[in-house]
Amino acid sequence: MEFVEDVATVEGSSLPRHEHGGELPLLVIGEESRMEGESEWKTWSRETVPKVMRIVSTCTTLPHRDLFSLLLVSPCLHQSLLSCSSLWQGIDLREMNNAGARLVAALSMSRYRHVKDINLEFAQDIEDKHLELLKTKCLDFLKNLESLNLNGCQKISDKGIEIITSACPKLKVFSIYWNVRVTDISIQHLVKNCKRIVDLNLSGCKNISDKSLQLVADNYQELESLNLTRCVKLTDHGLQKILLQCSSLRSLNLYALSSFTDKAYKKISLLTHLKFLDLCGAQNLSDEGLACIAKCKNLVSLNLTWCVRITDAEVIAIAQGCTSLEFLSLFGIVGVTDKCLEALSRFCSNTLTTLDVNGCVGIKRRSRDELLQLFPYLRCFKVHS
């Protein structure tokens, strides 16, 4: 049957006419439209969906909100996305409201059965009761969890830490920054339940004491990263336990801890794999302690901001010993002069990309171009404002 292009209006609708003048049945028109639609979808599914999947599968920072939007685009894309298990190995609820209920709901979906990473940083409305629900309803989904970020979740207590760690035996990365409710009891549960921790962030947990550091040192000899920022109850005794037993450490953050002395700082030299060290505010660190730190040949980043007892002699030792340095802050140190800058230029000019000497009154003020003559790869000249 052949058709012509002229259109007739029937009951307010524009319908094609048969070549002999008769109007085409609506059923035929509907079938034709359906077939055209199916053809378009097949073409779209065959050509576009694979392209979308290639983009999505290589995008490591795709927000979950965008991923959920893609689920609604088409049934074919929906099915393809759900079948790609790697897309559903993380749950990111950072800064979201009603995070506790959202997390329980998410882990009730089969797509998250292989989840490895849960991020609740500064999420609202996440409490111990939600962690209890997770353990009760979603235990099988948590058994492969490797990373848990509870930063800023201040409604979670020692009880909540006990619950969640008992459900996550494969946990490797655990972060509870700025939680003032947790105590050494939480660390007891952590070391008991999670034997594989390599990255631990206790920053701002002001009720953590040397007892926790002893537990960490005894149980996590393979620890690679430790953040103790503003854990104000810690002493030399606890830090020494870490330095003596956790020799695999690559990152150590002791920011804003003024209670430690050279007695502990000297033992940092035992960390032969150390790459990142933050000693900002270490008011008791002297040249004697820094001389030992200079033995850490693999250091890439060193923050000595407000280490007010430091002088040229040991900054020169750092320059000579740590020739891979990329980041160095001497901010606020009045006891250093151009001598240390010359040494840094001699030994670290090929690696340094960030150097902050602001507030170092003994160092001649230089323009950006003058600093670039000494350090040609420098990109950042000011770390602190």
Domain membership of residue 5 (yes or no) is no
Percent of the chain with pLDDT over 90: 75
Q: What is the pLDDT averaged over residues 201-223?
A: 98
Which among 99, 46, 50, 91 is positioned nearest to 67, based on CA atoms?
Answer: 91
Q: Which of 88, 116, 132 is the last residue of a domain?
A: 88
pLDDT tens-digit map of 170-182: 999 999 999 999 9
> DSSP assignment of 315-371, as one string?
HHHHHHH-TT--EEE-TT-TT--HHHHHHHHHHHTTT--EEE-TT-TTSPP--HHHH
pLDDT tens-digit map of 241-281: 999 999 999 999 999 999 999 999 999 999 999 999 999 99
pLDDT tens-digit map of 298-340: 999 999 999 999 999 999 999 999 999 999 999 999 999 999 9
Q: Fill in the DSSP letter of residue 22.
A: P
Q: What is the pLDDT of residue 67?
A: 77
Q: What is the pLDDT of residue 74?
A: 78
Q: Which of 70, 88, 106 is the last residue of a domain?
A: 88
Q: Look up the domain containing 269 and give its range.
A: 250-385
Domain membership of residue 95 (yes or no) is no
Percent of the chain with pLDDT over 70: 88
Q: What is the pLDDT averaged over residues 63-77?
A: 78
Domain membership of residue 137 (yes or no) is no
Indicate which CATH number applies to the domain containing 361.
3.80.10.10
Q: What is the pLDDT of residue 6?
A: 37
pLDDT tens-digit map of 224-252: 999 999 999 999 999 999 999 999 999 99
pLDDT tens-digit map of 219-231: 999 999 999 999 9
**SS3 label, residue 153:** coil
Contacts 24+ apart (CB under 8 A), 46-54: 49/74, 49/76, 49/77, 49/80, 52/77, 52/80, 53/80, 53/81, 53/84
Q: What is the pLDDT of residue 78?
A: 80
Binned at pLDDT 50, 70 and 90, residue 38 comes out as low
Residue 254 neighbours by CB distance under 10 Å: 26
Q: What is the pLDDT of residue 14?
A: 44
The neighbouring-strand residues paired with 356 are 329
pLDDT tens-digit map of 148-160: 999 999 999 999 9
Domain membership of residue 374 (yes or no) is yes
Binned at pLDDT 50, 70 and 90, residue 44 comes out as low
Q: What is the pLDDT of residue 282?
A: 98
Return mean pLDDT, the chain: 89
Judged against a pLDDT cut of 90, whether residue 49 lies above it is answered with: no
Q: What is the pLDDT of residue 32?
A: 61
CB 55 within 8 A of CB 42: no
Q: Which of 41, 70, 88 is the last residue of a domain?
A: 88
Domain membership of residue 311 (yes or no) is yes
Q: What is the pLDDT averaged over residues 50-75?
A: 77
Q: How many domains, in total, are found in the chain?
A: 2
Domain membership of residue 34 (yes or no) is yes
Task: List Cβ neighbours of 50 (8 Å cut-off, separation of 6 or more).
Answer: none
pTM for this predicted structure: 0.86
